[in-house]
Structure 1
Amino acid sequence: MRKLELQLFGNEAVQGKKLVYLYRILSEAAKENGATLAFTTENGRTKSKDADSTATKDGSIRTPGAAEVEITATSILKKGDALIGKLEKALDDDALVEIWEANLMEPASSGSNKFKGKYFQGYLTEIEYTANADEFVEVSLTFGINGNGEDGDVTVTASQQEQAYAFVDTPKTGA
């Protein structure tokens, strides 16, 4: 009998919830930490290049243009979400936004709560609120990125790693 060596995806594949994005308005860097969006359902990063084609006697040659990077995020709107409000104001004010992409499946060797990732700066170019009658309000964001981003180690706190909510104990919490 012939033995097949199959690639095991269970130990190697990165689940979507393990690739997290953090955001901060650049002008708030001295007083605010990067933060995750509440109830994120989807993130995406696209890198693309246009190329010009020049006809020659020997056939076409292609000249690649500059790479363009776009980051998208979709989340369920959390009541009183301050980050969404800040990001929408950044769109109105043409304010630069910092974005970190962290892969929670790849811890960095430089310390605890650090993960391999990328750092970007760009502008929020589109925000869309979708409110279907029988569903939660969904917010979709699109960022146009300056440059290509830089590789590095990203700090993601334990509570940010938990994403949607943190443990709350049974005693009353006040008022």
Structure 2
Amino acid sequence: MTDTQKKMQAGKNKILLFRLLENQGEEAAKLVFQTEHTFSYSRELERIITKDGSLINVGGLESEVAIEAIQAMDDPVANMLRQSVIHGQKLELWEVTVDEELKTADNKFPAIYAQGYLDSWEDPASAEENAAISANFTVELEPQFGEATLTEEQQAAVQYAFQDTKAEAPVEG
């Protein structure tokens, strides 16, 4: 593929899924109405001046995820995340790129996985806007890059997943 054929990646295709680390027997869940998140990586670089020139001492990697969403009424994931801050509970986080063009042959999507803690949670409520959520996830150790499987329910939670025109049999519960 040449540079002119490369496609831009849409931010709306990157979603966050969460789970309490202690609940690894359960499926991860999506925080509804996500509007924006930023996965950031940084290192402290210490410049050491010598008579021969500058040297750089490289510090450890620090990663965090800033999260913004519109509050949904009775969203169990938002409630779980808020409680994780209050109780200091460790979380798992996945950033999954839900793009059919990037889906693997075994139905997996590119993903980043991290464990850590929410170090802040805010519920701003402006008179002129929707009630919002603002949170910050601090990553412990280094994020891992790989592929994630999404359940049918998780894929259905992503807006505008393609549906065929063919009628589907209703799922019996």
Matched, 1:28 2:23: yes
Corresponding position of 2:56: 62
Report the secondary structure of 1:27's partner residue: helix
1:20-169 matches, within 5 Å, as 20-30=15-25, 32-105=26-99, 106-109=102-105, 111-112=106-107, 114-161=108-155, 162-163=157-158
Residues in 1 aligned to 2:123 and 2:160: alpha-carbon distance in whole angstroms: 22
**TM-score where L is the length of structure 2:** 0.83
Question: Per-residue deviation at 1:88?
Answer: 1.3
> Structure 1 residue 152: deviation in Å?
1.7
Query: Which structure 1 residue ranges, 4+ long, deviate > 3 Å from structure 2?
Result: 164-167
What percentage of residue pairs aligned between the two structures are identical? 29
Amino acid at match of 2:14: L
1:31-82: CA deviation from partner (whole Å, max 9, x where unpaired): x211111111011100000111212112221111001010121111001111
Q: How many residues align?
A: 158
Contact 1:38 1:163 in 2 (8 A): no
| TM value normalised by structure 1 | 0.82
- By how many angstroms is 1:7 displaced? 2.1
Residue 108 of structure 1 aligns to a residue whose secondary structure is: coil
**1:15 is aligned to 2:5:** no
User: For the Cα contact (< 8 Å) 1:39–1:164, is it kept in 2?
Assistant: no
- Which consecutive residues of structure 1, in runs of 5 or more, have no partner in the other structure? 168-175
Root-mean-square deviation (CA, aligned residues, Å) is 2.2
